[in-house]
């Protein structure tokens, strides 16, 4: 689905811009979401702060499903690099919310992030990254 890939790229570029506006440095990972070689969408860091791997998801629906294997690879990759894994989620009209992968709900084959959970556990950029 070319539409989803373009939408994902746009969301990733939007996130890079948000990090940059807050004085961070962020890069999109080439080929993210394509294969096993790049199990995250962005890597971001700031001097004297912890660096993060970011998996970006956006949806028009009120729940986001992510394959379990994708999240497991993402977490493993993050820890191998010594970086903290973060899920960046954007639901329509809600803006970006940032959560840790442990806040995802296990549904068996997938991890799910309902909008309700994202709003309860998620934080806006400055809450999550600047505190």
Can you give the three-state secondary structure of the chain, one letter per residue? Answer: CHHHHHHHHHHHHHHHHHHHHCCCEEEECCCCCCCCCCCCCEEEECCCCCCEEEEEEEECCCEEEEEHHHHHHHHHHHHHHCCEEEEEEEECCCEEEEECHHHCEECCCEEEEEHHHHHHHCECHHHHHHC
Please give the pLDDT value at position 1: 36
Please give the pLDDT value at position 35: 55
- What token pair was written down for 22? 């807050």
pLDDT (mean) for 100-105: 96
pLDDT (mean) for 75-93: 94
pLDDT at 37 over 70: no
* Local confidence band at 13 (pLDDT 50, 70, 90 cut-offs): very high
Chain-centroid distance, C-alpha 36: 17
Q: Each residue of 118-128: pLDDT tens digit?
A: 999 999 999 99
| Whole-number Cα distances in Å, 126 to 11, 21, 76, 129 | 18, 11, 26, 5
CA dihedral 19, 24, 25, 26 (to 10 degrees): -30
pLDDT at 54 over 50: yes
pLDDT (mean) for 87-98: 94
pTM of the predicted structure, to 2 decimals: 0.89
* Local confidence band at 30 (pLDDT 50, 70, 90 cut-offs): confident
| Whole-number Cα distances in Å, 102 to 13, 51, 117, 122 | 25, 18, 12, 11
- What token pair was written down for 100? 């840790």
* Local confidence band at 17 (pLDDT 50, 70, 90 cut-offs): very high
Task: Name the CATH code of domain 2-130 (choices 1.10.10.10, 3.40.1350.10, 2.60.40.2470, 1.25.40.10).
Answer: 3.40.1350.10
Q: When comparing pLDDT for 4 and 40, which is higher?
A: 40
Q: What is the residue extent of each domain of the chain?
A: 2-130
Query: What's the chain's average pLDDT?
Result: 90
pLDDT at 25 over 80: yes
């Amino acid at each position: 689905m070319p539409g989803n890939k373009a939408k994902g790229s746009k969301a990733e570029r939007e996130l890079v811009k948000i990090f940059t506006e807050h004085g961070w440095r962020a890069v999109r990972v080439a080929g993210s979401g394509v294969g096993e070689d790049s199990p995250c969408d962005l890597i971001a860091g700031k001097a004297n702060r912890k660096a993060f791997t970011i998996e970006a998801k956006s949806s028009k629906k009120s729940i986001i499903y992510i394959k379990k294997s994708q999240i497991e690879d993402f977490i493993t990759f993050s820890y191998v690099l010594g970086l903290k894994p973060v899920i960046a989620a954007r639901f329509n009209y809600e803006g970006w919310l940032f959560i840790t992968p442990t806040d995802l709900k296990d549904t068996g084959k997938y991890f799910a992030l309902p909008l309700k959970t994202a709003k309860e556990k998620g934080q806006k950029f400055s809450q999550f990254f600047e505190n």
